[in-house]
Amino acid sequence: MAEINRAVKGTNDILPDKSHNYRFVEEKMLEIAALYGFREIRVPVFEHTEVFSRNVGEDTDVVQKEMYTFSDKGGRSITLRPELTAGVVRSVIEKGVIAGALPAKVCYIGGCYRYEKPQAGRLREFHQFGVECFGAGDPAADAEIIALARQILLTLGVKGISLKINSIGCEKCRKDYVAALKNYFEGHKEELCDTCKDRLERNPMRILDCKSPVCSKIAAGAPVITDYLCDDCKEHFASVKENLTAQGIIFEVDPHIVRGLDYYNKTVFEFVSGDIGAQSTVCGGGRYDGLVAKMGGKDTPALGFGLGIERLMLLLENMNVQLPEDRKCDLYVAAMGGSAKLAAGKICAEMRNEGFEALCDLCGRGLKAQLKYADKIGAKYSVVLGDDELNCGKVKIKDMKTGDEHECDITAIPDKITDLNLKAALGSLEESVLNGEKA
């Protein structure tokens, strides 16, 4: 029998006390992406299976082991997206986005689904922020994408991250490299895990991405792709590094970075941290110049990155980064009696029309219980409304933090709250300036 009171393994509920943190981070990422000219795109959560199986790579762990694939009622094979790039490429081809002005820059936030062992920062349902840039083949575009990812991480307060970059070449130079790689791993075939023995025949580069300690140790001594780059790829990579250096972005060339998906070529990169456990990659991406043509579009250079939001939130938590607090209730109206309850509802409606969060009792509580609730939810101000207040047309607005009371006309409550908030903000500013001077 299904456990209807328990979440499915590998999924996570984000409750109201945490959801505002996610909302802040997501809005900040979209805001920074907009500074680089990226605009949001939203694509379906599922696609035809071929969108992923043919383009992500049939030899990848994602396609072989992790996709949630099913047949719909029409007998079509459908897959919940394990990543967003392939679906975005399908969309920009189908809707003609890349037939317009180039480069076309899009960004997104969305859920992804992979059947894998749940661990810290890695779930079976997870969310990604990402950007994709179409039509820009210049190495300056690679540097810009990396700079964008870096600015997002730094703006959110992430410290101690390091940037690792590599070039995995093009089809031309990768041919010789794959041959050298296969020859190397053939000498260690009996030591490889069963999965990598199969990869040796199908795609030896996938062995470099294996998480097995034994395979990783063997891979550490393998030939490196940077020794096999053609002149064009060498020049491109040198220019990427030159652009990064010109922008003051520190990086390390790591020739073992290959990324986990087959559509990448030339520049690949990762931002890594030691504060989220064994899975240290916070953000990763690179070029995928051949993917648009492979999916039926015009040959178009493209690049982008993906950033796991759950892993980022875990990193921020481990680093004790303080995100802004969620907004609090501006006014709680405690009512005594039927007439007062009707008036409380009207006051709340007027406050909300002015942009304030205003609440009143919905549970039939007594006055004492209402005020206790107002304190528990952190309301900034409260008003007690009864027959006396209705008859004289005046109320006392109580500051729930200081206990100070301020009398005003019932009809002037929104203006009074505005005035009190302004005075409180000026007081906090003055206090911070004084504290700064004392320091």
What CA–CA distance (Å, rounded) separates 81 from 123?
14
Least confident of 31-40, 400-409, 428-437: 428-437
> Span 363-390, mean pLDDT?
96
Using CA atoms, how far apart are residues 181 and 343, in angstroms rounded to an integer? 78
Average confidence (pLDDT) over 392-402: 95
Mean pLDDT value across the chain:
91
Section 149-175 average pLDDT = 93
Find the length of the chain: 439
Residue 279: pLDDT above 80?
no
Candidate from 122-136, 141-155, 236-250, 259-273 with smallest mean pLDDT: 259-273
Share above pLDDT 70 across residues of the chain, in percent, rounded to a whole number: 93
> Comparing 436 with 437, which gets the higher pLDDT?
436
CA dihedral 376, 378, 380, 385 (to 10 degrees): -30
Q: For each of the domains in the chain, give its residue range(s) and CATH number, in order of start.
A: 16-159+253-318 (3.30.930.10), 331-424 (3.40.50.800)
Using DSSP's 3-state secondary structure scheme, residue 295 falls into coil
Residue 388 dihedral angles phi and psi, to the nearest 5°: -60, -45
Percent of the residues in the chain that have a pLDDT greater than 90, as a whole number: 73
Q: What value does the mean pLDDT take over residues 299-325?
A: 94
**Bridge partners, 408 (sequence order):** 395
Q: Round to whole Å and give the CA distance between 31 and 408.
A: 40
Residue 146: predicted pLDDT = 98
Compute and round to an integer the Cα radius of gyration of the chain: 28
Whether the CB-CB separation of 137 and 159 falls below 8 Å is answered with: no
Q: Residue 6: what are its φ and ψ, rounded to 5°?
A: -130, 140
Position 428 confidence tier, pLDDT thresholds 50, 70, 90: low
For residue 118, is the peptide bond before it cis, meaning its omega torsion is within 30 degrees of 0? no
* DSSP letter (8 states) at residue 64: I
In degrees and rounded to multiples of 5, residue 151 shows phi and psi of -65, -40
pLDDT greater at residue 280 or residue 249: 249
Of 134-148, 330-344, 387-401, 416-430, the one with minimum mean pLDDT is 416-430
pLDDT at 437 over 60: no
Sheet holding 39-40, edge to edge: 39-40, 104-113, 125-134, 302-308, 281-287, 265-272, 162-167, 252-253
Q: Burial letters for 211-228: b for 16+ Cβ neighbours within 10 Å, e otherwise?
A: ebeebeebbeebbbbbeb
Burial class (CB in 10 A: 0-12, 13-18, 19+), 194: exposed
For residue 74, the one-letter residue type is G
What residues contact 181, with CB distance under 8 A and at least 6 apart?
A: 204, 205, 207, 208, 222, 223
Structure confidence by residue, pLDDT tens digits, 319-373: 999 999 999 999 999 999 999 999 999 999 999 999 999 999 999 999 999 999 9
Where does the pLDDT of residue 259 fall: very low under 50, low under 70, confident under 90, or very high at 90 and above? confident
Q: Amino acid letter at 415?
A: D
Q: Work out the number of other CB atoms within 10 angstroms of the CB of residue 422.
A: 10
pTM, rounded to two decimals: 0.89
Lowest mean pLDDT among 17-26, 194-203, 319-328, 335-344: 194-203
What is the Cα 361 distance to its own chain's centre?
37
How sure is the predictor about 407, in pLDDT bands with cuts at 50, 70 and 90?
very high
pLDDT band (50, 70, 90) for residue 80: very high
Q: CA 9 to CA 16: how far, in whole Å?
A: 21
Q: Please say whether the beta carbons of 233 and 266 come within 8 A.
A: yes
Tell me the Ramachandran region of residue 213: left when phi exceeds 0, alpha when psi lies from -120 to 50, beta otherwise. Answer: alpha
Q: What is the mean pLDDT of residues 25-45?
A: 98
- Whether the per-residue pLDDT at 438 is higher than 50: the answer is no
Residue 439 confidence (pLDDT): 42
- Do 111 and 83 contact (CB within 8 A), yes or no? no
Distance CA 272, CA 274 (A): 7
Strand ranges of the sheet holding 68-71, from the earlier edge strand across to the other edge:
46-48, 77-80, 68-71
